[in-house]
Amino acid sequence: MNQTVQEIFDADSGFLRAKDISNRTQWSQLNIMFERGSVVKVKRGLYLMTETPTDQSVEIANMLPNDVFCMFTAWDYYKLTTNNPFEFHVAIGSKDKIVLLAYPPVKLYYWTDKSYRLGSVEIKEDKHAVKMYDLEKSVCDAVRFRNKIGMDTVTEILRNYIKRKDRDLDRLMKYAGQLRIGNIIETFLTVML
């Protein structure tokens, strides 16, 4: 069964990838919509319906299919810090090559395969799944980058993590061991608990 371009847009919350178009009729429909201004080209091979209200995180997830939201974006999502990020913090593999648009603002982190894959989970946003690091991996990242983000931010994140009922200290220590920061996190937790 051939879908119309509108059905493809509706199924993907207002987004369409060029690879989803399977015939000339769909290309013609897309071109007509583009000429009328009801569709904009976000980047090569990715289109967005203009009247679609989208969450910027969903837009980024569509632009960067292998991204994982991390650092300040994840800490803000989990309410671990009061710092409001003015840009989205996104981790990608160290060998990935991407081109970013000027908007929405994105700060990229190129991480090794081990750091990049550890603790990645899917979170539902506007009928879309976006990838983000889980709570414990996000805390480990705060400790890993403590010299770049500042000790006051690390302390705030650890205090808020300890207060949470859904914390998993075993998973935190497992991740810390894999990231070679086990002794550091253990020292922080000993002082705070």
Task: Note whether 81 and 122 are same-domain residues.
Answer: yes
Looking at the structure, tell me whether residues 32 and 113 fall in a common domain: no
Residue 96 and residue 110 in contact, taking contact as beta carbons nearer than 8 Å: yes
The per-residue pLDDT for 6 is: 79
110 and 15 assigned to the same domain? no
pTM of this prediction exceeds 0.85:
no
Ramachandran angles phi, psi of 150, nearest 5°? 100, 145
Give the span between the Cα atoms of 133 and 66, in whole angstroms.
13
DSSP 104: S
Residues 74 and 145 in one domain: yes
Phi-psi region of 180 (alpha: psi -120 to 50; beta: other; left: phi over 0): left
The predicted structure's pLDDT at residue 88: 85
148 and 174 inside one domain: yes
Instruction: Tell whether 138 and 104 lie within a shared domain.
Output: yes
Measured in residues, the chain has a length of 193
Q: Do 34 and 88 reside in the same domain of the chain?
A: no
Q: How many domains does the chain have?
A: 2
Range of the domain at 94: 57-192
Tens-digit pLDDT string for the chain (193 aa): 467 777 777 766 677 778 888 888 888 888 877 777 777 777 677 777 766 555 666 666 666 667 888 999 999 989 999 888 888 888 988 887 776 665 677 888 899 988 889 998 988 866 667 888 999 999 999 999 999 999 999 999 999 999 999 999 999 999 999 999 999 999 988 887 7
- 104 preceded by cis ω (within 30°)? yes
Query: Which strands, in side-by-side order, build the sheet including 39-43?
Result: 15-17, 46-49, 39-43
In this structure, are 116 and 164 located in the same domain? yes
Q: Are residues 44 and 100 in the same domain?
A: no
Rounded-to-integer distance, Cα 129 and Cα 165, Å: 24
Distances (CA, A) of 154 to 56, 133, 142, 143: 26, 17, 6, 6
CA distance 101 to 83: 24
Q: Do 193 and 185 touch, CB atoms closer than 8 A?
A: no
pLDDT at res. 108: 86
